[in-house]
Amino acid sequence: MTVNKDKLTIGIFCGIIYMGLIFNLILPNRRFSTFENRMLQQRPKITRKALISGKLRDEVEDYVADQFVARDFWIDLKSKIEISIGKNENNGIYFGKDGFLLEKFERPSEEILDKNIESILQFSKKSFKDILLLLVPNSVAIYKDKLPNYAAPYPQEKILEYIEGRTKDSLKFVDVYDSLLENKKDYIFYKTDHHWTTEGAYYGYRSFMETEGLTPIPLEDFNKEAVSSNFFGSYYSKARQSRKTGDTIEIFTPENPVKTIVDYKDENKKTHSIYELNHLEEKDKYAMFLDGNHGLLTITTDIDSDKNLLIIKDSFANGMIPFLTSHYKTIHVIDPRYYNLSLEKYIKENHIDTILILYNVSGFTTDTSLSKIKL
């Protein structure tokens, strides 16, 4: 009798797995996970090179895991089990003190890190422009006092020191780590999301301006407006920790606001605002900054200047760019993850004066699209 029950249990389990695989083949692939706030692995291309190197095997494993039917349900179930047995983290997110969710940041791949640094160094040698590199430490590097007991993430300051040492002779390295650390008592990082808040982005803007020898607008000269108080971000989605209080998203407007025209090149769409407030009705509320991520967009302002700024970036730049509109006539924004045209040609055709490369540390150490910036 017991043997039959065991066989039945095994049969049901195998049936679930089998049906899941069948549904994976039938259902269309998802490109983006709103809950995890990341792109999902698509069906791999089978090539001889990928097969020999082992890359195909890794991509197939990621594809099956990312596209498995009801993936969000299984992640949610796992989270509830982890929390119920008293674990201090889930899905790579620590349950920190005072409501903080913090990334379980691990030692990065030296291969990817060095490849990205080398791409930037090659880029700096060929572009003949004023180039700055701003790497934003993640909240786990600033709020170590909020980590749960026995948590030991890899120190991001070591990575920042290493990158600065490798690049300081080729470009301007913008140090924002010390500024964020000095102002950690303020609301500079979301508790449920991986991004910095608008105030955190202000300190990035201030550090950039000071590195360029320019004068930033004082923080007290901005009017602050809370546009949402129920933002539950990417860390919340990964950890699946039950909570009632979300984060607050703010807009900082200078006393003398500038007029802007935002041209989303990939969508052939133009707007007169750097904010798309319709996203506040969605889960990914951070997308209200510049309508999320795009391969290429330009911002033209009405200020009396002829300066052209190119920003090569990840999503952390979206919250900082509004501050820069008070200082540049045109801001060109390129996200290498979605931009596949010639960067060299674009720089020449648009008479770029200054180039800012802006990434968060976690993203910089894992993003393989940065190799595209080599001219």
pLDDT tens, position by position, 284-314: 999 999 999 999 999 999 999 999 999 999 9
The pLDDT of residue 220 is 98
Same domain, residue pair 269 and 222: yes
User: Does 273 fall in a domain?
Assistant: yes
pLDDT at 37 over 70: no
Average pLDDT over residues 143-162: 97
| Domain end marker among 65, 97, 129 | 97
Q: Tell me, yes or no, whether 258 lies in a domain.
A: yes
- Does 226 map to a domain? yes
Indicate if the pLDDT at residue 38 is higher than 70.
no
Q: What mean pLDDT is reported for the chain?
A: 89
Name the burial class of residue 326, with classes exposed (0-12), middle (13-18) and buried (19+) by CB atoms within 10 angstroms of its CB: middle
Q: Total domain count for the chain?
A: 2
Residue 241, in any domain of the structure: yes
Residues 59 and 128 in one domain: no
Same domain, 69 and 115: no
Query: Do 262 and 329 belong to one domain?
Result: yes
Question: Is 104 within the bounds of a domain?
Answer: no
Mean pLDDT (whole number) for 3-27:
61
158 and 54 fall within a common domain: no
153 and 201 share one domain: yes
- Predicted local distance difference test score (pLDDT) of residue 68: 62
40-93 pLDDT, tens digit per residue, is: 777 777 787 767 776 667 777 777 666 666 666 666 666 667 666 667 888 899
Q: Helices 316-324 and 198-211, interaxial angle, to 10°? A: 60
pLDDT surpassing 60 at residue 2: no
> What percent of the chain has pLDDT above 90?
70
Do 90 and 158 fall into the same domain? Answer: no
In a domain, 274, yes or no: yes
182 found inside a domain: yes
Domain boundary among 97, 131, 155: 97
What integer is the mean pLDDT of 225-247? 90
* Co-location of 74 and 51 in the same domain: yes
Question: How confident is the model over 362-366, as a mean pLDDT?
Answer: 97
Instruction: State which of 97, 129, 151 marks the end of a domain.
Output: 97
Alpha-helical (H) ranges within the chain are 2-26, 48-53, 55-67, 71-84, 110-127, 139-142, 156-167, 177-182, 198-211, 234-239, 316-324, 343-349, 361-364
pLDDT digits (tens, 9 = 90+) for 184-214: 999 999 999 999 999 999 999 999 999 999 9
Closest CA to 116 of 158, 170, 167: 167
pLDDT at 5 over 60: no
Parent domain of 63? 2-97
Separation of alpha carbons 256 and 127, rounded Å: 34
User: Which two three-digit tokens encode residue 201?
Assistant: 């982005």
Max CA separation in the chain (angstroms)? 85
Domain contains 102? no
Using pLDDT thresholds of 50, 70 and 90, give the confidence band for residue 34.
Answer: low
Q: Do 89 and 126 lie in a common domain? A: no
Confidence at residue 70, expressed as pLDDT on a 0 to 100 scale: 65
Residues 249 and 328 in one domain: yes
Specify whether 129 is located in the same domain as 76.
no
Is a pLDDT exceeding 80 seen at residue 128? no
**pTM more than 0.85:** no
The answer, yes or no, to whether residue 334 has pLDDT greater than 70, is yes
327 has a pLDDT exceeding 80 = yes
- Indicate if 350 and 292 belong to the same structural domain: yes
